[in-house]
Amino acid sequence: MFMFKSSVNNEETTTKTENQSKFPFVRPKESERKFCSPIIEKVINNMTLKMKDKDLARLFENCWPNTLDTTVAWFNVGEDFPRTFIVTGDIPAMWLRDSTNQVISYVPYSKCDDKLKNLILGVIYMQAELIICDPYANAYYAPPESKLPHPKNPWSGTDITTPPPSSATWEKKWELDSLVSFLKLSHNYWHNTGDDSFLTNKIWLEAVNTILDIMEKQQLGTMQEFKNEAYKFSRLTRNTTETLMMEGIGAPVRRIGLVKSQFRPSDDSTTFPFLIPSNAFASVELSHLHEMIDSTSPDIAKKAKNLSQIIRESIYSNAIISHRHFENILAYEIDGYGSSNLMDDANLPSLLSLPYFGFIDNNDKIYLKTRDFVLSDWNKFRFSGEKFNGVGSPHTGLGYIWPMSLCMKILTSTNDQEILETLELLKESSAGTGLMHESFYYNDPNNYTRSWFAWANSLFGETILHLAKEKPYLIMIDDFKFI
């Protein structure tokens, strides 16, 4: 699902910083922002005043608060617990994956702002309710009490799914990383705030139990569940990545301990359903789940730990593939029968992002070889033009690089020169708009998709914060102190 934009609006806007930048200040007026947080504004001011590159500072100033400024569609504190509905940007629905990634970089600062803390906790509770409604869905409508409109999804009119969608379902593509993203946000919030109140809440626990049950069902081989499939998806379309083969079943797999994911984080169908980045992500967050609830729900915690170990062991037993140029690398997808798909996609989780998600160290030999492959011309979705090079996705077609892949290149890099060069590419990819986009054409950044894609903006902000903390000498002046 993407929208192409071929022109750029360079209309002059009011600047906020004293030093001029080539990028416009594009945040909404304070009175028009969907949510305001004093601590986030303090961090923005502290960062932008101390950044060496004022163009980079302006991009951070615009991008990092974009989720709070524009996508908080509904926030209700409530008597029992808060609930927050976050749209993805130009699509008026809430994705589990996107909403987690949109707010996660705010979590460390929520200790200093109770309203922000409640907003993030509200995302967790909203996600829990939506998972209970339809655990196989990837995106949802707002709850009726929000009184937000329910526009028809223009892509899903011909969908036939097993089980059928709920009234809350915007789109029912089974993506393992969606459910895992809920676990990630829960753990990140718990770890950073110390708030454990939600761990014994019946709604949160029901969502957790639902996730574990779904994962176990999706470990079954194709013939083990033949004619009794837990999930099927068919769509009338000319695009093969928008539907599943064999009348919605998907490509056959053999049971090997991994969890099927019929769709990727891009919302494209998998070639082989054992999607390795999503399984790696699941292994990490199931381990975190065990850490969170070992003392409050030991039986559930034990189940999560066992599943985490089974998935990790299976990845190392089945997904490391010999490549004639890169020795042993991780496959993107496998089927348990010996087939593998060697590629990477810019959407997260990806092979490139595995250290970021905590699955493997960024100095591990297998990861380094995999990274070399991903960033080479051997990766069929890595595109290189006269100036730009980066990883794209089948979702946007050939030649389109995703800024998120450039951010992830920085977040997994130990090479200062590589980081600085990639920052320059990110600046140029904005095409003068002052924001990040979903993707841009490898020879023309003015030809980009989705001018309002909050996840990309959030990840860019997170990338700058990471550098300010881990490598301040690259982007900050000498007397900078990280908040």
**Cα–Cα distance measured from residue 292 to residue 306, given in angstroms and rounded to the nearest whole number:** 15
Tell me the two tokens of residue 71.
């996508």
Distance separating alpha carbons of residues 377 and 383, to the nearest angstrom: 7
CATH number of 4-475: 1.50.10.10
- Residues 426-458, buried b or exposed e (16+ Cβ, 10 A)? bbebbbebbbbbbbbbbeebebbbbbbbbbbbb
Query: Does the pLDDT of residue 389 top 90, yes or no?
Result: yes
DSSP per position, 46-88: HHHHHBS-HHHHHHHHHHTTHHHHHTEEEEE--SS--EEEE--
Share of the chain above pLDDT 90, in %: 93
- Greater confidence (52 vs 482) lies with 52
Spatial CA neighbour of 458 closest among 23, 103, 186, 184: 103
Residue-wise pLDDT for 261-298, tens only, equals 999 999 999 999 999 999 999 999 999 999 999 999 99
Decide if pLDDT at 11 tops 60: no
- The predicted model scores a pTM of 0.94
Residue range 218-242: mean pLDDT, rounded: 97
Q: Is the pLDDT of residue 10 over 60?
A: no
- The model's pLDDT over 160-199, given as tens digits with 9 standing for 90+, comes to 999 999 999 999 999 999 999 999 999 999 999 999 999 9
- Give residues with Cβ within 8 angstroms of 222, minimum separation 6: 249, 250, 252, 253, 254
pLDDT at 7 over 70: no
Residues near 118 by Cβ (< 8 Å), separated by ≥ 6? 77, 82
CA distances from 185 to 280, 309, 313, 366 (A): 16, 21, 24, 28
Q: Report the pLDDT value the prediction gives residue 370, as an integer from 0 to 100.
A: 98
d(CA 381, CA 311): 26
Which of helix, strand or coil describes residue 426? helix
269: Cβ contacts below 8 Å, ≥ 6 apart: 240, 241, 242, 243, 244, 250, 262, 263
Residue with tokens 């071929």: 6
Asked if the model's pLDDT at residue 15 lies above 70, the reply is: no
- pLDDT confidence bin for 19, thresholds 50/70/90: low
Interval 82-141: pLDDT, tens: 999 999 999 999 999 999 999 999 999 999 999 999 999 999 999 999 999 999 999 999
pLDDT at position 480 is 75
H/E/C letters for each residue in 341-361? ECCCCCCCCCCCCCCCCCCCC
